[in-house]
């Protein structure tokens, strides 16, 4: 009764108490999401039962149970580190990729995304495999990514080249990259209605121009007939680019780098 009376005589709740509870609730929620569907769920349940048994032994005169659990709890921390080492690594990785921390490594991830896209475009160009890769910037492309097949994977040239292989069901359409991740593939994009375009421009090039006319996205296009690499930005199509030319333009657009002396400047360029 004394413990119950002390519980109801606690001081009033402040805003800091609310923030404290919210933070702890968020941490518990994220931890449950990480271990959901893994063998760690059973282990965590067992540990919770041991802790409940310990508190029960404190409330009732269960001296032997209390002594046993107190001696076991000394090694529980070390056992948890060994048993949950994979889940702990995954949790720390998940914490490091949170939006707050993601801001600090944004430039590095953008540079890695650029290199993966350039490598994929170069390989597809050599094999004369058509491709359309869209990179989202400030204006969201959610309505277009929802028209395709969700992927939500890290950007890698292996995955990009695999998607655009003619034998795969997702090769027809565009890949949309959002926040340095492949959000979706086989996406439908609006075609440009600009008159006077070259007749050799196919559907991919017209879709790349149409999307960049409506948004600030960048669209890397590889021609299936000629193996030509193009970049669409602000409704303008820059054609006949080498991988170095493409790198210079993408870095200038995404990393805010200016061309300086010694940088490769696109020599062969046709704006339509």
Q: Tell me, yes or no, whether 231 and 161 share the same domain.
A: yes
Q: What is the pLDDT of residue 186?
A: 93
The reply to whether 246 and 113 lie within a common domain is yes
266 assigned to some structural domain: no
Q: Distance between CA 252 and CA 246 in Å, rounded?
A: 10
DSSP assignments along 7-71, one per residue: HHTPPPP-HHHHHHHHHHHHHHHHHHHHHTTSTHHHHHHHHHHHHHHHHHHHHTT-HHHHHHHHH
How much is the pLDDT for 4?
Answer: 54
Contact of 196 with 207, CB cutoff 8 Å: no
Is residue 199 domain-shared with residue 110, that is, in the same domain?
yes
Residue 8 belongs to a domain: yes
**Residues 97, 23 share a domain:** yes
CA proximity to 121, closest of 267, 217, 220: 220
pLDDT of residue 149: 93
Find the domain containing 179 and state its range: 106-254
Domain boundary among the residues 51, 84, 101 is at 101
Structural domains of the chain, count? 2
Q: Do both 116 and 231 map to the same domain?
A: yes
- Note whether residue 262 is domain-resident: no
- At 218 the pLDDT is 94
Eight-class DSSP state of 192: P
The H or E element that residue 232 is part of is strand 229-233
Based on the domain organization, do 132 and 80 belong to the same domain? no
Q: What per-residue confidence (pLDDT) applies to 61? A: 77
Query: Is 264 among the domain residues?
Result: no
How many whole angstroms separate alpha carbon 83 and alpha carbon 39? 10
Enter the DSSP assignment of 271.
B
Do 90 and 131 lie in a common domain? no
**Any domain includes 155:** yes
In a domain, 271, yes or no: no
- Does residue 93 sit in the same domain as residue 51? yes
Looking at 72, 101, 130, which one is the last position of a domain? 101
Residues 90 and 110 in one domain: no
Return the HEC string of 69-111.
HHHHHHHHHHHHHHHCHHHHHHHHHHHHCCHHHHCCCHHHHHH
Is the same domain home to 32 and 149?
no
**Strand 229-233 relative to strand 218-222, pairing:** antiparallel
Question: What is the reported pLDDT for 3?
Answer: 59
Among 271, 196, 200, smallest CA distance to 236 is for 271
Is 207 within a domain? Answer: yes
pLDDT at 72: 76
Q: What is the per-residue pLDDT across 4-14, written as a single tens digit (0 to 9) for each?
A: 566 556 666 77
- Whole-model pTM? 0.62
118 shares its domain with 237: yes
Are residues 97 and 223 located together in one domain of the fold?
no
Q: Residue 134 forms beta bridges with which residues?
A: 176, 219
User: What number of other Cβ atoms are within 10 A of residue 186's Cβ?
Assistant: 18
Q: 131 pairs with which residues across the strands?
A: 222
CATH number for the domain harbouring residue 227: 3.40.1700.10
Q: Residue ranges of the chain with pLDDT lower than 50?
A: 101, 257-272
Domain-located, residue 188: yes
In tens, the pLDDT along 59-77 reads 777 788 778 877 777 777 7
pLDDT digits (tens, 9 = 90+) for 200-234: 788 889 999 999 998 999 999 999 888 899 999 98
User: Of 101, 117, 141, which one is at a domain's C-terminal end?
Assistant: 101
pLDDT score recorded for residue 197: 77
pLDDT at position 38 is 63
d(CA 156, CA 160): 6
């Amino acid at each position: 009764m004394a413990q119950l009376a002390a519980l109801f005589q606690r001081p009033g709740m402040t805003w800091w108490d609310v923030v404290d509870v919210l933070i702890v609730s968020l941490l518990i929620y994220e931890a449950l999401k990480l271990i959901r569907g893994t063998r760690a769920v059973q282990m965590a349940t067992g540990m919770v039962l041991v802790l409940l048994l310990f508190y029960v032994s404190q409330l009732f005169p269960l001296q032997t149970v209390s002594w046993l659990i107190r001696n076991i709890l000394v090694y529980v921390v070390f056992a948890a580190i060994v048993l949950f080492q994979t889940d702990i690594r995954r949790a720390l990785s998940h914490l490091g990729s949170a939006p707050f921390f993601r801001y600090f490594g944004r430039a590095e991830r953008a540079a890695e995304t650029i290199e993966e896209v350039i490598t994929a475009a170069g390989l597809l160009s050599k094999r004369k495999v058509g491709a359309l890769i869209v990179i989202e910037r400030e204006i969201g492309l959610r309505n277009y990514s929802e028209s395709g097949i969700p992927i939500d994977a890290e950007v890698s040239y292996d995955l990009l080249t695999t998607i655009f292989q003619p034998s795969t069901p997702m090769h027809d359409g565009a890949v949309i990259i959002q926040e340095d991740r492949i959000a979706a593939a086989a996406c439908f994009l609006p075609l440009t209605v600009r008159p006077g375009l070259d007749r050799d421009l196919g559907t991919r090039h017209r879709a790349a121009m149409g999307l960049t006319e409506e948004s600030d996205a960048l669209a890397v296009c590889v021609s299936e007939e000629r193996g030509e690499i193009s970049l669409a930005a602000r409704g303008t199509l820059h054609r006949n680019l080498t991988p170095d030319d493409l790198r210079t333009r993408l870095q200038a657009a995404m990393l805010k780098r200016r061309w300086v002396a010694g940088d490769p400047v696109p020599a062969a360029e046709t704006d339509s």
